Amino acid sequence: MARRGRAFWAQLAFTVLVAAFLIVPVAMSITAGVTANFFQGVKSGLTTRWIGEVWRLYRDTIVLSMTIALATLIVDLAVGVPAAYVLARRRGWLTRLVEEALVLPIAIPGLATALALILTYGTWREFRTSWLFILVGHVLFTLPFMVRAVLAVLSSTDLPTLEEGARSLGASFRQRFFDVVLPNVRSGILAGALMVVTLSIGEFNMTWMLHTPLTKTLPVGLADSYASMRLEIGSAYTVMFFFMIIPLLIGIQLAARPRKATVVRDEAA
């Protein structure tokens, strides 16, 4: 690299400033979450009291969010993977239309989707007050991500040839799907799964409308704590949320890498 001029340092300073804008509040909330009194500063002492408070007040929301994320993942796997398979095998105007339609729940704000669900099914009391109502919203919102992740891998593998080979050896459709197709799209399923869980845990726009006092998820609880609890509790709660999503984010980064390697291998073969 040549001698670095003034332009380099100016841009570096700018980039560091942007990074600070994003990270300083994160650092502040982590500090506030373990500080006895944030107004007085760290000198008031460090404490795990607020984390304990959050666990006492909001444990249910964390459990419910994990339950819903897992259930969303199961439904998305059961429904989304076969759908992606059909979309990949049958290219035509109908499948293209379906592909377009499936993306609509992402394109339309969650608030609108939630209103539509409430206006249609809101009078069905057992359904409205159960967590399944939130599950429906999360499945709508996350399904396109699962379908697209699997579809991306499917379109980069030569599936028809692999399947033909299996069929010529006498494999039934069931055997072909589970022993040939699924192992080949494993990386896509993994990437999609991590994405789905991350999105479900953080979903608020829709969930705020769909939740009831007995079905509060983590982001709903967060909004509640920001509005009605002291800053330290909101911070401690946010820190717990960070620790839930950090492993998922790292997983997404790692899952993105081997997929590139597979594609290269396929082209070389």
Partner 1 sequence: MLPAAVIFAAFFLLPMARLVAVGAGGPAGLAAYAAVLTEPRYFRSLVSTVALAAAVTGLTLVIATIAGVFLQRNRFPGRSVLVAMLTFPLAFPGVVVGFMVIMLAGRQGLIGDLTRLVTGAKLVFAYSMAGLLTGYLYFSIPRVILTVMAAAEKLDRRLEEAARSLGASPWQVVRDVIVPGLTPAFLSAGAICFATAMGAFGTAFTLATEIEVLPMTIYTEFTLRANFVVAAALSIVLGVITWLALAVARTAAGSSVAAAA
Min CB(186)–partner 1 separation in Å:
20
Judged by CB under 8 A, the number of residues near partner 1 is 76
Contact in structure between 179 and 171 (CB atoms under 8 Å): yes
5: DSSP letter:
-
For residues 242-261, which are near partner 1 according to CB under 8 A? Answer: 245, 248-249
Query: Applying CB under 8 A, does 204 fall inside the site for partner 1?
Result: yes
Contact track, partner 1, 25-54, x by CB under 8 A: xx-xx--x-----xx---------------
DSSP 14-67: HHHHHHHHHHHHHHHHHHHHTBS-TTT-GGG-B-SHHHHHHHHHHHHHHHHHHH
Query: Applying CB under 8 A, does 198 fall inside the site for partner 1?
Result: yes
For residues 1-20, which are near partner 1 according to CB under 8 A? Answer: 1, 7-8, 11-12, 14-16, 18-19
For residues 79-98, which are near partner 1 according to CB under 8 A? Answer: 79-80, 82-83, 86-87, 98
Instruction: Compute the C-alpha angle 79/201/249, nearest 5°.
Output: 95
**Of 94, 61, 54, which is closest to residue 221 (Cα–Cα)?**
61
Query: Applying CB under 8 A, does 58 fall inside the site for partner 1?
Result: no
Contact track, partner 1, 94-133, x by CB under 8 A: ----x--xxxxxxxxxxxxx-xxx-xxx------------
- State the helix-helix crossing angle for 49-89 and 218-228, rounded to 10 degrees: 140
Min CB(221)–partner 1 separation in Å:
10
Among 61, 62, 236, 241, binds partner 1 (CB under 8 A): 241
Phi and psi of 132, rounded to 5°?
-60, -30
* The residue type at 268: A
Output 131 or 204, the one with its CB closest to partner 1: 204
